[in-house]
């Protein structure tokens, strides 16, 4: 009997861990600087107010998986590794994305080359404001799919601005303004696919609407991926889409019908994470202000819902929310809330 009791006690922590909800989150953290290596410096020095506030907020919410967007990345991932070490995350993943990556083309058609506007997407250096994944679950690195080099013109029914880009532009212009990743992690020995991305802002262009069109196609990518319309088959099993679409389904600029279509796709669950103490409502907005995830300048664009965690339909959701940092900084105030969803179990 004593041996049996000891055996049961040894198994109990494993059983409880298997039943514990998995907290998956995304946060547009805006840990970005004016030059390469500066964010790494600020993390390592340990006294930067914005970095310390970000660490405090992440620790308070304690997500098991966290996608950071608007985070400066470097070639070898040193900045992310330094942050992961301070936060205690054993696994992390990032790659240099497309922001700030030179093209050699005059993409904004102003007659000048080499400007941030002429990069694959706006950026003062390659990797500025990129994507970074922190995880307590093992990352299946060898099975990661990175679609960030896919050309925009190769997306089925790409919404390219007619007559704006020439053939040489389109030979190198990528769909992803930052990145599109399918990152599998192991939860209870089962692969859970994380669809991670951050789309360009649908403004800062002209009548051709090049940014609005690209923004919409960056979000539409995921439906096409699941449809099997891309050169690779969709993944098997459960998945969670997370990131910053820069697109509100009800308010603000952009092709809102694309976000509406994604949120109503039966393969996803929109559990509508909300906050109790978010930004004040904009009187002319149609969306529920409790769902807003970004607090921008008034009156335009105002507060919008642009950050999402969308579990696949078979996953059981226990809870969800939007957590706003309770800090006031002199510079680099956090304009986004951290969006989190607790997954109760994996089938």
Phi and psi based region of residue 141 (left: phi greater than 0; alpha: psi -120 to 50; beta: remaining): alpha
Residue 317: pLDDT over 60: yes
Query: What is the residue-wise DSSP string for 297-314?
Result: STTTT-EE--EEEEEBTT
Per DSSP, the three-state class of 256 is helix
User: What is the C-alpha separation between 307 and 288, in angstroms, rounded?
Assistant: 14
User: Residue holding tokens 């109503």?
Assistant: 264
Rounded Cα–Cα distance for residues 294 and 73 (Å): 22
For residue 299, what pLDDT is reported? Answer: 67
26 has pLDDT over 90: yes
Q: Indicate the SS3 state at residue 72.
A: coil
| Residue 266, C-beta contacts closer than 8 angstroms, at least 6 positions apart | 313
Please confirm whether the linkage preceding 177 is cis (ω < 30° from 0). no
For the chain, give the percent of residues with pLDDT over 90.
84
255-305 per-position pLDDT tens digit: 999 999 999 999 999 999 999 877 777 888 998 999 999 998 766 788 999
Confidence of residue 347 (pLDDT cuts 50, 70, 90): low
Position 1 scores a pLDDT of 39
Residue whose token pair is 């992961």: 84
CB 107 within 8 A of CB 161: no
- Sheet bearing 307-311, strands edge to edge: 145-146, 180-187, 190-198, 239-244, 307-311
Identify the three-state secondary structure at position 170: helix
pLDDT digits (tens, 9 = 90+) for 210-260: 999 999 999 999 999 999 999 999 999 999 999 999 999 999 999 999 999
Specify the pLDDT at position 180.
Answer: 98
How is residue 268 written in tokens? 């996803």
User: Each residue of 100-117: pLDDT tens digit?
Assistant: 999 999 999 999 999 999
Query: Residue 346's pLDDT is what?
Result: 57
pLDDT value of position 332: 53
Mean pLDDT of 314-320: 96
What contacts 24+ positions apart, CB below 8 Å, involve 44-47?
44/82
Predicted confidence (pLDDT) per residue in 152-181, tens digit: 999 999 999 999 999 999 999 999 999 999
The mean predicted confidence, pLDDT, of the chain is: 91
């Amino acid at each position: 009997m004593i041996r049996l009791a000891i055996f049961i006690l040894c198994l109990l922590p494993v059983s409880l861990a298997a039943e514990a909800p998995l907290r998956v989150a995304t946060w547009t953290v805006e840990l970005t600087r004016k030059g390469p290596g500066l964010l790494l410096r600020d993390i390592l020095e340990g006294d930067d107010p914005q970095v310390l506030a970000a660490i405090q907020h992440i620790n308070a919410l304690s997500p098991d998986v966290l996608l950071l967007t608007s985070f400066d990345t470097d070639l070898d991932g040193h900045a992310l590794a330094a942050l992961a070490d301070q936060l205690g995350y054993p696994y992390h993943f990032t790659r240099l994305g497309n922001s700030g990556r030179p093209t050699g083309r005059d993409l904004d058609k102003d007659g000048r080359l080499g400007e941030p506007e002429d990069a694959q997407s706006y950026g003062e250096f390659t990797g500025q404001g990129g994507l970074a994944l922190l995880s307590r679950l093992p990352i299946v690195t060898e099975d990661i799919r990175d679609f960030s080099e896919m050309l925009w013109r190769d997306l089925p029914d790409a919404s390219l601005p007619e007559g704006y880009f020439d053939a040489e532009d389109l030979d190198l212009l990528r769909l992803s303004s930052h990145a599109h990743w399918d990152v599998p992690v192991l939860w209870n020995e089962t692969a859970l696919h994380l669809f991670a991305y951050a789309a360009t802002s649908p403004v800062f262009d002209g009548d051709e609407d090049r940014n609005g069109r690209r923004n919409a196609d960056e979000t539409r990518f995921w439906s096409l991926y699941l449809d099997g319309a891309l050169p690779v088959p969709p993944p098997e099993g459960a998945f969670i889409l997370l990131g910053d679409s820069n697109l509100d389904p009800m308010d603000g600029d952009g092709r809102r019908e694309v976000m509406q279509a994604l949120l109503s796709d039966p393969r996803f669950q929109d559990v509508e994470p909300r906050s109790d103490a978010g930004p004040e409502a904009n009187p002319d907005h149609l969306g529920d202000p409790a769902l807003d995830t970004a607090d921008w300048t008034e009156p335009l664009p105002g507060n919008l819902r642009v950050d999402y965690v969308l579990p696949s339909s078979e996953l059981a959701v226990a809870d969800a929310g939007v957590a706003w940092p309770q800090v006031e900084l002199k510079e680099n105030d956090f304009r986004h809330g951290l969006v989190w969803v607790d997954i109760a179990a994996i089938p």
